């Protein structure tokens, strides 16, 4: 484990620190890149130690920022406390809970161990990390938290039931504490992207089928930039793209069973032989 005793000041100027989970690729990497450009000291967490090392080298070389990497399995119980303890209870000014993955299939047939891991990453670890950094932010009167939700949060998701439900939790939880924190100087943003070009799809299915529907597919760079700006502005919910905003409203005006049926047909079409 590398040395994590880095200073909190640089030439007399206080430097803020950001913690990003799932930072070794995709949206997490793009968020880390934006933070590095703004001069944040970075704590990057991911299960992929090799990719983390590459990201650390790139960001330190390009932006001359301090980067700490922690290779951690965020599906493990109490891993959030383990991370904070390893870091020596640091001051966290920005927390980006980005780590996550999906799983495709009928719930009765999918792998429970994988689903349990997903629930721990999306719900338990995200919630616990938020709680662990929140009091310090409130005491300082400043702080920003971004939780990675999804367009999936707005309706049921047959064939990806646990993923959709966990993203619904992420959205509801974020909106609730954003309301609680009004006037404290601390903000919480739920980023709800639609389909995004990342390594996410590689972990969705237990077979090797790839997405066949690429309509409305955004790049990770575009989504990260939108979410980052929304976080800095303190927006409670950020949905990139006009079409995605429209899609998010549909379940409010149609029966939920109809919304679920539409999602199921899309998922089946997306992975048909």
Task: Give the domain ranges of the chain.
Answer: 9-270
**HEC profile of the chain:** CCCCCCCCEECCEECCEEEEECCCCHHHHHHHHHHHHCCCEEEEEECCHHHHHHHHHHHHHHHCCCEEEEECCCCCCCHHHHHHHHHCCCCCCEEEECCCCCCCCCCCCCCHHHHHHHHHHHHHHHHHHHHHHHHHHHHHCCEEEEEECCHHHHCCCCCCHHHHHHHHHHHHHHHHHHHHCCCCCEEEEEECCCCEECHHHHHCCCCCCCCCCCCCCEEHHHHHHHHHHHHHHCCCEECCCHHHHHHHHHHHHCCHHHHHHHHHHHHHHHCCC
Six-digit token string for 239: 């949905």
We find that the CATH architecture of domain 9-270 is: 3-Layer(aba) Sandwich (3.40)
Quote the distance between the C-alpha of residue 195 and its chain's center: 14
Q: Is 163 a catalytic residue?
A: yes
Lowest mean pLDDT among 5-14, 30-39, 66-75, 159-168: 5-14
Instruction: Tell me how far apart the alpha carbons of residues 213 and 60 are, in angstroms, rounded to a whole number.
Output: 37
Q: Residue 10 pLDDT > 90, yes or no? A: no
Per-residue model confidence as pLDDT tens digits over 57-106: 999 999 999 999 999 999 999 999 999 999 999 999 999 999 999 999 99
Q: What is the CA angle 78-24-47, rounded to 5?
A: 35
Contact 103, 111 (CB under 8 A): yes
Active site residue 226: no
pTM equals 0.87
Q: Tell me how far CA of residue 138 lies from CA of 17, 65, 128, 157, 234, in angstroms.
A: 15, 26, 16, 35, 15
Name the band, by pLDDT with cuts 50, 70 and 90, for residue 4.
low
pLDDT at 273: 53
Strand 143-148 relative to strand 41-46: parallel, antiparallel, unpaired? unpaired
Would you state the pLDDT for residue 132? Answer: 98
- Arithmetic mean of pLDDT, 191-218: 62
| Residue of 163, 164, 169, 228 with catalytic role | 163
Average pLDDT along the chain: 88
* Identified catalytic residue from 41, 56, 72, 167: 167
Give pLDDT tens digits for 133-162. 999 999 999 999 999 999 999 988 899 999
CA-closest candidate to residue 247, choices 149, 158, 151, 150: 151
| 72, 62 Cβ separation under 8 angstroms | no
Give the tokens for residue 117: 């891991």
Reported confidence tier of residue 195, pLDDT bands at 50, 70, 90: confident
Contact (Cβ atoms closer than 8 angstroms) between residue 29 and residue 62: no
Average pLDDT over residues 211-235: 84
């Amino acid at each position: 484990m590398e040395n994590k005793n880095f200073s909190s000041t640089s030439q007399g100027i206080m430097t803020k620190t950001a913690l990003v989970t799932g930072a070794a690729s995709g949206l997490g990497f793009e968020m880390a890149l934006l933070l590095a450009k703004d001069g944040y000291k970075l704590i990057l967490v991911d299960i992929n130690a090799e990719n983390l090392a590459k990201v650390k080298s790139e960001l330190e070389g390009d932006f001359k920022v301090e980067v700490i990497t922690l290779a951690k399995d965020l599906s493990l119980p109490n891993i959030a406390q383990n991370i904070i303890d390893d870091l020596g209870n640091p001051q966290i000014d920005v927390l980006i809970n980005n780590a996550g993955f999906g799983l495709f299939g009928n719930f009765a047939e999918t792998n429970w161990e994988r689903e349990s891991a997903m629930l721990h990453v999306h719900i338990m670890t995200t919630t616990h990390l938020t709680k662990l950094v929140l009091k310090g932010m409130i005491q300082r009167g400043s702080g920003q938290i971004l939780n990675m939700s999804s367009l999936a949060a707005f309706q049921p998701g047959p064939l990806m039931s646990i993923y959709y439900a966990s993203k619904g939790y992420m959205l509801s939880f974020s909106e609730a504490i954003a309301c609680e924190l009004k006037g404290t100087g601390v903000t919480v943003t739920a980023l709800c992207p639609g389909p995004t070009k990342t390594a996410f799809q590689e972990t969705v299915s237990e077979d090797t089928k790839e997405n066949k529907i690429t309509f409305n597919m955004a790049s990770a760079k575009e989504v990260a930039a939108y979410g980052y700006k929304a976080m800095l502005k303190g927006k409670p919910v950020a949905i990139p793209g006009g079409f995605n905003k429209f899609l998010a409203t549909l379940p409010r005006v149609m029966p939920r069973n109809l919304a679920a049926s539409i999602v199921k047909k899309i998922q089946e079409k997306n992975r048909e032989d």
